[in-house]
Amino acid sequence: MTDEASETGGKSPRLTRRGVLALAGTSAIAGCSSIDSLGGGSKATINTYNLPDISRDEERESPVPPSVPVTITSGHFDATRERVRSLLATLPTPLGPEEIPNGHIRKHLTDAASDATQGLGDARTARTGLMALRSLRRARENARYAAAGWGVVDRGLTAAPLRDEYNRTVSGARETRQEHEYVGADPVRAALVHARIEAGLERATDTDVRPREESALLSVAEWGETAEAAQVYLSDARHIRAQFTASLPPDAGSVRQPLTAAAKALLADIRDQQSTLAPEPNTDDRTPGWMVFDELCREAQSGISRLAYAIGPASAVVDANSQLARLRALDRIQTRREAEELARPSDAKTVRDIRQTAYDALTAALESSSRSALARTVLVDAGHKVMAADRELTHHQGEIAASTLDRSVADYWYATALARSASAATQQTVQALEGD
C-alpha cells in the first residue's frame, strides 16, 4: 500500500510540514543489480505535441483511490471540520506585517492556513471516505501549525505544553494498541480494516519527532502540528475500529490467529519465490525495460524486510499481498524482456498506446477481481506509477530524444505488470486467510 507512504507499512519517520527525511534503499537481490538491455541506443526523436494531452497545471491523483471497507460517519467528518475552522478562527484576518513583521515567518503561517482551507475543500470532493479523512487530517495539521505559530505572538505560547499534549496522546495511543482486539467475521475485510487501525496507531505513537525549524516561533508551530497529527491519527483509528466493530454480527470472534497464520504462510511463499530468481548478465545500458526490471528487483528485496518487521498481523498480510503482486509483475517483465517486447518506443503513438494499456489494466483488474477491496491495495500503488508517469510527460516540450521518455515508459510498464498481477496475488492471499 503506497498511499500515504503505505500506512500499513513499517515504522517510518513522521513527515511534518516543514521537514522531510528522504530514505533511499541501495540493496539488491541476486540477479537484479545488473541486467542486460534489449532497447539499444536509439537516436529517434519524438515531438511532444503528439504525446497524450495532459494539463501541466492539473491536480493529478492516482486513478485508483485508496479505500477502507468501513463507513465513516458524517458526525466524525463534521467534528474534524469544526476543529479546523476553530483553529483558523484564532488567526487575525488578514495576517499581515503589522501582526508578524518577519515576512518569512508570516508566509509559513499564511501558507499553512491556506492549505488548511484547501484541505476542507478537498475533503468535500474526495472520492472515498479514506481520502476525505486524509484531507481533513492534513487540514487539521496545517491549521494547528498556523494557530500555534500565531499563539507565540498573541499569548506567548511555548513548545512545552504542546510537547506535554503530544506525550499524552502517545500514551493514549499505546493503551489503545495494547487493548486492541482483532475481531472480525470475514478475514479479508478484517485484514484490510485492522491494517488501517494498526497504521494509524503506529503513526500516533511515533516518538521520533524533532522540530527542524531554526526559528523559535516556527519550532513551536511545528510542535503544534505534531501534537495535532498524533491526535487525529488516534481519533481516526478509534473511529474506524468502532465503526467496524458495530458492523459485525454479535457472534463475530477473533481473527488474530488466521491473520497471523496467513502472514507466516505468505512470507514463506515470498521467500521461496525470491530464491528462484536467476542472475542476469552485466550491462551499462539503461533502457526503460532495464529500469522497470531493476526497480522491481530492488523492491522485492526491501519488501521482504518490511514483512519481517510488520507493525501487526493485518499489516503483514496486506503488505504480503502487495509483495506477491510485485514478484508476479517481476516475472511478467522478465518474460517480456526475453521476448524483446520492451524496446524503447521511437514514436509518440507507441507511447500513447503504452499509457492507455496501463490505464486499461488498472480498470480491468479492479473490475475482474473477486475481492476488489484487497486487490485495490495493489492497484493504488500501480495507479501512483501511472500518475508519476503522466506528471513526467508534462515536463517536456518540443522535439525531444526518445530516451527522454524512458522514465515515463518504465512507470507505465511497471503499472501494467503490477495491475495484471493483482488478481492472482489477491487469490493467493485469500486462500491463505481462509486456510486453504
Output the CA–CA distances (angstroms, integers) from residue 36 to 243, 255, 294, in the order listed. Answer: 51, 46, 10
Contact status, residue 136 vs residue 123, Cβ threshold 8 Å: yes
Angstrom distance (rounded) from CA 334 to CA 293:
7
Instruction: Check pLDDT > 70 for residue 31.
Output: no
5: left (phi over 0), alpha (psi -120 to 50) or beta: left
User: What mean pLDDT, rounded, does the chain reach?
Assistant: 88
Cβ partners under 8 Å of residue 142, min gap 6: 17, 112, 113, 115, 116, 119, 225
pLDDT tens column, 302-327: 777 778 788 999 999 999 999 999 99
Angstrom distance (rounded) from CA 202 to CA 177:
8
Instruction: Check pLDDT > 80 for residue 436.
Output: no
DSSP character string of 165-195: HHHHHHHHHHHHHHH---EESSHHHHHHHHH
Question: According to the model, what pLDDT value does residue 279 have?
Answer: 60
Q: What is the mean pLDDT of residues 334-360?
A: 95
Q: What is the mean pLDDT of residues 132-160?
A: 97
Neighbours of 357 (CB within 10 A): 16
Angstrom distance (rounded) from CA 423 to CA 369:
6
Question: According to the model, what pLDDT value does residue 29 have?
Answer: 37
Question: According to the model, what pLDDT value does residue 307 have?
Answer: 80
Confidence of residue 23 (pLDDT cuts 50, 70, 90): very low
Question: According to the model, what pLDDT value does residue 58 have?
Answer: 58
State pTM to two decimals: 0.87
Confidence of residue 278 (pLDDT cuts 50, 70, 90): low
Angstrom distance (rounded) from CA 225 to CA 209:
11
Instruction: Check pLDDT > 60 for residue 9.
Output: no
Question: According to the model, what pLDDT value does residue 16 have?
Answer: 43
Q: Grid coordinates in use for 93?
A: 484576518
pLDDT tens column, 184-202: 999 999 999 999 999 999 9
Confidence of residue 276 (pLDDT cuts 50, 70, 90): confident
Query: Which is more confidently placed, 274 or 401?
Result: 401
Contact status, residue 318 vs residue 198, Cβ threshold 8 Å: no
Angstrom distance (rounded) from CA 360 to CA 383:
11
pLDDT tens column, 383-412: 999 999 999 999 998 999 999 999 999 999
pLDDT tens column, 361-389: 999 999 998 899 999 999 999 999 999 99
Question: According to the model, what pLDDT value does residue 378 have?
Answer: 97
Question: According to the model, what pLDDT value does residue 386 have?
Answer: 96
Instruction: Check pLDDT > 90 for residue 350.
Output: yes
The secondary structure of 230-246, three-state, reads HHHHHHHHHHHHHHHHH
Angstrom distance (rounded) from CA 343 to CA 399:
20
Angstrom distance (rounded) from CA 429 to CA 324:
9
Question: According to the model, what pLDDT value does residue 10 have?
Answer: 39
Query: Which is more confidently placed, 232 or 34?
Result: 232
Confidence of residue 40 (pLDDT cuts 50, 70, 90): very low
In whole angstroms, what separates CA 217 from the centre of its chain?
31
Instruction: Check pLDDT > 70 for residue 419.
Output: yes
Question: According to the model, what pLDDT value does residue 265 have?
Answer: 96
Instruction: Check pLDDT > 60 for residue 13.
Output: no
Q: What is the mean pLDDT of residues 154-159?
A: 96
Confidence of residue 24 (pLDDT cuts 50, 70, 90): very low
Confidence of residue 284 (pLDDT cuts 50, 70, 90): low
Question: According to the model, what pLDDT value does residue 344 have?
Answer: 95
Residue 356 carries which DSSP code? H
